[in-house]
Amino acid sequence: MSAFGHRHLLGIEPLAAADIETILTLSERFLEIAERPIKKVPTLRGKTVINLFLEPSTRTRTSFEIAAKRLSADAVNISGSGSSTTKGETLLDTARNLDAMSPDVVVVRHSLAGAAEMLAKQLRAGVVNGGDGAHEHPTQALLDCSTIRAHKGKLAGLEVAICGDIRHSRVARSNIWALTKLGARVRVAAPRTLLAPGLTEMGATVHERIEPALEGADVVMMLRIQKERMGGGLFPNTREYSRYFGLNLRRLELAKSDAIVMHPGPLNRGVEIDPAVADGPRAVILDQVARGVAVRMAVLYLLAGGESAAE
C-alpha cells in the first residue's frame, strides 16, 4: 500500500486511485473502534481539529467531531450563525485567526466552491473540504465508496446510478470522480434543468429520465432536491418532480434485484425518495452514516500525522 502524500483533502479529483484505496482500507480498521467498550484510541492526543461550518450541517459536522474525539484529538466546532462572519468578518480573516491558535486540521464547509482550496493556500493547518458550494464533498464520496465496497465486495465494474439534483450537488461530483477512478461506471439522471455541464467529460453517462439510469444498476444513489440553492423555476413543483424522478418501489424494480439504495441525507421524504424505499431492506442509508465516522477518522489520521513529517 502506498503512503499518503497529501497535506490536505480538498477534493477527490486530485487524488490517485491508490490514495482512495488507502483511505478506504484504513477506514475498515477504524470501523471496529465503534464496537469497542471504550470507543477511543490515543492516536491524535494533543492534536486540535477545528470544524468551521459556515453552512448548516448535522451529519457531517457531528461525524467529524466524533471522528476527532475517537482519535483523542480536541475538536472545536464553529458554526456560521454563532461566528464572527455574522459581524462581517471574511472567511479568510476568520480562518487566519483560527490558524493563529495552531490547530492541526481545519475542516471547512462553505457555500462557495473553492473555499477549502483558498484556505489551504493560506493556513499552516491541514485543510479538509467538508463541502464547498457545488464543487466537492470528498469525505461523502469516500464513505459512499466504503459503503458500496462493503455491500458489493468491490467497486470495479459496478453500474452506479446517481439521480436527482446533479447541478447543485457536490456529492455527485465527488462521487463521479471517486467511482470512475475506482473502475465503476456512473450514470447520472436529472431533469435537464438540474444537470450540469462537463458530466460526460468526467466520465459519466447522462440521462434526462430516471428509468434508463436505473436499468440494471447495482447501486442507486438518490440526491436531495436542494431547495435552498435554487432560484426557482428549475422544475414545476415537488409533486411533479416526485412523479417523474422520485424513487419508488416500482421504479426500483428496474435496477438489479440485489441493488442497494443510498442517499447522502438529509432526506426529502416523498420527494426524491419514497418512504417505502428509504425504510426498505435495500436502503443502506444509516450504514453510510456509520461508515462516515470511520472514513473521517482515517482522513484525520493521515492528515494530522503528516503534519510533522519533517524528519
What residue ranges bind another protein (CB under 8 A)? 1-5, 22, 25-26, 29, 32, 36-38, 40-43, 71, 301-302, 304-309, 311
Q: Which is nearer to another protein, 28 or 89 (CB)?
A: 28
Q: Tell me how far, at minimum, the Cβ of 149 lies from another protein, in Å.
A: 16
Q: Which is nearer to another protein, 25 or 122 (CB)?
A: 25
Q: Which is nearer to another protein, 71 or 123 (CB)?
A: 71
Q: Which is nearer to another protein, 161 or 299 (CB)?
A: 299
Q: Tell me how far, at minimum, the Cβ of 8 lies from another protein, in Å.
A: 15
174 Cβ contact list (under 8 Å, min separation 6): 11, 12, 136, 137, 138, 140, 141
Q: Which is nearer to another protein, 19 or 132 (CB)?
A: 19
- What DSSP character marks residue 194? G
Beta strands in the chain (DSSP E): 48-53, 74-79, 105-110, 126-132, 159-163, 185-189, 204-207, 219-222, 260-262
Cα 297 from Cα 125, distance rounded (Å): 17
Q: Which amino acid is at 38?
A: I
Q: Which grid coordinates belong to 12?
A: 477527490
Q: Tell me how far, at minimum, the Cβ of 39 lies from another protein, in Å.
A: 9
- What DSSP character marks residue 227? G
Cβ(45)–Cβ(309) under 8 Å?
no
Cα 173 from Cα 137, distance rounded (Å): 8
Cα 48 from Cα 104, distance rounded (Å): 5
Overall size of the chain counted in residues: 311
Q: Which is nearer to another protein, 42 or 88 (CB)?
A: 42
Q: Give, in order, the Cα–Cα distances in Å from 20 to each of 90, 141, 151, 299.
A: 33, 10, 18, 10
Q: Which is nearer to another protein, 50 or 294 (CB)?
A: 294
Q: Tell me how far, at minimum, the Cβ of 22 lies from another protein, in Å.
A: 5
Q: Tell me how far, at minimum, the Cβ of 143 lies from another protein, in Å.
A: 18
Q: Tell me how far, at minimum, the Cβ of 27 lies from another protein, in Å.
A: 10
Q: Tell me how far, at minimum, the Cβ of 44 lies from another protein, in Å.
A: 8
Q: Tell me how far, at minimum, the Cβ of 83 lies from another protein, in Å.
A: 30
Instruction: Look at the alpha carbons of 246, 56, 91, 116 in this order and tell me if their dihedral is positive or negative.
Output: negative
295 Cβ contact list (under 8 Å, min separation 6): 23, 24, 27, 30, 139, 142, 143, 146
Beta carbons within 10 angstroms of residue 28's beta carbon: 15
Q: Which is nearer to another protein, 9 or 217 (CB)?
A: 9
